[in-house]
Amino acid sequence: MKYRLSKSDKIIRGSIDLPSSKSIANRALIIHALSYSPYPLKNLSSSDDIDVMQQVLTSNTNQFDIGHAGTAMRFLTAFLSQIVGQWVITGSERMKQRPIHVLVDALNALGAKIEYMEKEGFPPLKIWGSHLKGQVLELDGSVSSQYISALLMIAPVIEGGLTLRLKNKVTSRPYIELTLKLMKQFGVRSVWKGNEIRVDEQAYQAREFTVEADWTGASYWYQLAALANEAEIELKNLRLMSLQGDCEIASWFKAFGVDSKATPDSVIITKSADIQPKHLQLNFIENPDVAQTMAVLCVLKKVPFHFTGLETLKIKETDRIAALQNELAKFGADIKEPKHGELQWDGTFTLPKDELPCMATYHDHRMALAFAPAALFQPIEIDDPEVVTKSYPHYYEHLKQVGFEIVPA
């Protein structure tokens, strides 16, 4: 199935009820379960990833298929390892290609028993949950921060707590900080000094909790505002002073003439000036999920760029480096990968521009989300468009709200 997207003008006005933060919700669901909380979590999104996590945590079975939900795979592997019983967790074919040995090795060192059912180092996993005993663990901080977050969330219920020593450059540091801040809201203390994080054995406290709106989801509206001639968009339930690291993008988009104003219940973004940088250099080490947003924006605005800190993009829902190169080539842009974890474009177009480019999504929600705003410039098609249900189920409805025409192709 394909969608054809177009828009008759470059004006964006509307009020958007963003999905709640997937990053916060996934963590809150694990912490909520570990705290045996009687309070329901408020403002959980209806995205695929959150539905999968909820289904596992409320299931009466011991076998779970989490599909494409990488965060759920990592967080649940750690969670199940300390729940007495025998568990099997698997996922999509792509999930079976995403490495998990760093987390499994760490959990086995704490006393878990986890075996690979197919390929060594990859899901599916068979887990014999048991009583875990804490120690000092060394982890490579340059791999996925979700391994670190998965271990930190179960640290308070491990005998003796847990100390993590992080080697090398820490990737996605704000996501680790987010985990620790959420743990604190549920009564758990931690200490992060230098490269060492310590969480003592202690009890989570049940709390009422409401999930705020998703800043990564907001990035697509900032992108649209930057591409528009005129824009005024209210993003409901978004907080300018947020727990989420991706709130940093509000400052990035000032270079594209997009301003942000906080209200008690939202953030209002406006296109205040027709400006753009001559060249954009950004390090995504702390914000990898918005790399696609910025790459598409720069090509459409003809802004040469050099992006670094993209080391984790190859092990996401797809190899996002290759996917961006393939799809941006359809607009005539030849994107280079000068080094591992980098993308670079000199601003030249080397291929003929397609009249109606069809964007492949590679089973990756962020490919569809980031490329849809290109329809503000020219009609496009999106293949497998419903992949957005992973994180933003109502995305196309919201685009229609602001004047996009979206029809099956």
Q: Burial level of 191, CB count in 10 A (0-12/13-18/19+)?
A: exposed
Which residue in the list 49, 51, 214, 289 is annotated as catalytic? 289
Cα distances (angstroms) measured from residue 373 to each of 213, 224, 252, 288, 349? 20, 6, 18, 19, 20
What's the gap between Cα 208 and its chain centre? Answer: 24
Rg (CA), the chain: 21
Which two structure tokens, joined as six digits, stand for 93? 């074919």
Residue 398, C-beta contacts closer than 8 angstroms, at least 6 positions apart: 14, 16, 17
The SS3 assignment for 281 reads strand
384: annotated active-site residue: no
Q: DSSP label at 174? A: H
Provide the β-strand partners of residue 116.
125
Residue 305, C-beta contacts closer than 8 angstroms, at least 6 positions apart: 279, 280, 281, 282, 294, 295, 298, 343, 344, 345
Catalytic residues: 289
